[in-house]
C-alpha cells in the first residue's frame, strides 16, 4: 500500500525549500543606475524622466570651437551592492569629465553649467518581487575657467561643484526610500569632486552614501523550513490520532 502521508510530507518539504530559496535574497542588496540632463548657464534643467539604464549628458562649453571643448556628466550603474554594513556603502553615481579641444592652445574662458539627475534604486531583498524600483531626483552645478589646449586646464573657481537632492525650491541632503520588502534605504549627500584637465585620470564625480535597515523582520529560509515542518508534523499527528480514535 502506498504511504500517502509520507508522499504528502515529502512534497510539502520540497515546496517549502523552494519557497525559502526564491522568497529571500540577502536583505538590503540593491542595484542602481543614474540618468542625467545638463545645460550651459545657471538655470537648473528639469530632472530626467524615469528610465531603464544610465544616461549621459554632454555640453559644449562657450565659445564654440572646432573641435569643441566639452563637459560630460555621465550617469553610472552598479549591481549587487549591500547597504546593511555599518555605515552603509558609498556610490559614485555620476562621473564628470572635461574633454579639451585637441587643437592649438586657446585663451582661458569662463563657463557655467547646471545639471539634474535621477538615481533609481532597485531593492533585491525579496527575489519574489522581481526587484522593486524607486527613485530620487536632485540637481547641482559648477562654474569656473578652462583652457582648451591639448592637455587642457579646468577648475570650478567661480562656483565650486555642488549637488543636492530634491528641487531648487526644497533642497535636501538626505532622502529615504521604503520598499515592499521592509528595507528602508537612506541616501545622503557625500562628496563632489570637480574634474581637472582633460583625460579620464582627471575626471571628477559625485558620491553619495547609502544605508539600509529593515522596517520589519523577514525569517531566514531555514526558519521558514522549520516552521513548515512543524506544521506538517502537527497535521500528521492530528491525522494519526483521528485514525486511532476510529479503531
**The Cα angle at residue 182 between residues 26 and 178, in degrees rounded to 5:** 115
Do residues 192 and 222 make contact, with C-beta atoms less than 8 angstroms apart? Answer: no
218: closest CA among 183, 186, 184? 183
At CA 161, angle to CA 156 and CA 163, rounded to 5? Answer: 165
pLDDT digits (tens, 9 = 90+) for 14-25: 333 343 433 445
Tell whether the torsion through CA atoms of 14, 15, 21 and 22 is positive or negative.
positive
Q: Determine phi and psi for 63, rounding to 5 degrees.
A: -75, 150
Residue 101 pLDDT = 83
Considering only CA atoms, give the Rg of the chain. 27
136: nearest Cα among 91, 99, 200: 91
DSSP character at residue 200: G
User: How deeply is 221 buried, as exposed, middle or buried, from its count of CB atoms within 10 A (0-12, 13-18, 19+)?
Assistant: middle
Per-residue pLDDT of the chain (247 residues; tens, 9 = 90+): 445 544 433 443 333 334 343 344 588 999 999 999 999 999 999 999 999 999 999 999 988 877 789 999 999 999 999 999 999 999 999 999 998 887 766 788 999 999 999 999 999 988 655 689 999 999 999 999 998 876 789 999 999 999 999 999 999 999 999 999 999 999 999 999 999 877 666 899 999 999 999 974 444 443 333 333 344 343 343 344 444 444 4
Q: Are 25 and 124 in contact (CB under 8 A)?
A: yes
pLDDT value of position 4: 52
- CA atoms of 98 and 234, how far apart (whole Å): 69
Tens-digit pLDDT profile for residues 88-140: 999 999 999 998 887 766 788 999 999 999 999 999 988 655 689 999 999 99
pTM, two decimal places: 0.77
Per-domain boundaries in the chain: 4-21+221-246, 26-214
What does the DSSP 8-state code read for residue 46? P
- The C-alpha cell at 125 is 531583498
SS3 of residue 217 by DSSP: coil
**Residue the block writes with cell 513548515:** 228
- Is residue 136 within 8 A of residue 118, CB to CB? The reply is yes
The angle, 0 to 180 degrees and rounded to 10, between the axes of the packed helices 4-23 and 221-246 is 160
Query: What three-state secondary structure class fits 192?
Result: strand
Cell numbers for 76 = 553610472
Amino acid at each position: 500500500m502506498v504511504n500517502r502521508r509520507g508522499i504528502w510530507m515529502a512534497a510539502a518539504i520540497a515546496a517549502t525549500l523552494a519557497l525559502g530559496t526564491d522568497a529571500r535574497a540577502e536583505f538590503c542588496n540593491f542595484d542602481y543606475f543614474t540618468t542625467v540632463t545638463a545645460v550651459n548657464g545657471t538655470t537648473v534643467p528639469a530632472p530626467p524622466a524615469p528610465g531603464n539604464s544610465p544616461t549621459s549628458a554632454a555640453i559644449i562649453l562657450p565659445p564654440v570651437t572646432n573641435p569643441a571643448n566639452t563637459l560630460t556628466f555621465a550617469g553610472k550603474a552598479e549591481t549587487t551592492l549591500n547597504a546593511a554594513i555599518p555605515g552603509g556603502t558609498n556610490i559614485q553615481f555620476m562621473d564628470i569629465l572635461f574633454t579639451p579641444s585637441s587643437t592649438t592652445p586657446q585663451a582661458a574662458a569662463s563657463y557655467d553649467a547646471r545639471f539634474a539627475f535621477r538615481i533609481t534604486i532597485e531593492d533585491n531583498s525579496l527575489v519574489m518581487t522581481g526587484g522593486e524600483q524607486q527613485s530620487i531626483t536632485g540637481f547641482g552645478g559648477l562654474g569656473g575657467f578652462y583652457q582648451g589646449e591639448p592637455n587642457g586646464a579646468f577648475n570650478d573657481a567661480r562656483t565650486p561643484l555642488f549637488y543636492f537632492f530634491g528641487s531648487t525650491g526644497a533642497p535636501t541632503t538626505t532622502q529615504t526610500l521604503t520598499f515592499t520588502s521592509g528595507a528602508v534605504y537612506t541616501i545622503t549627500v557625500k562628496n563632489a569632486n570637480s574634474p581637472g584637465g582633460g583625460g579620464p585620470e582627471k575626471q571628477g564625480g559625485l558620491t553619495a552614501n547609502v544605508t539600509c535597515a529593515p522596517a520589519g523582520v523577514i525569517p531566514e529560509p531555514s526558519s521558514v523550513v522549520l516552521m513548515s515542518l512543524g506544521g506538517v508534523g502537527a497535521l500528521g499527528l492530528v491525522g494519526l490520532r483521528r485514525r486511532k480514535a476510529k479503531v
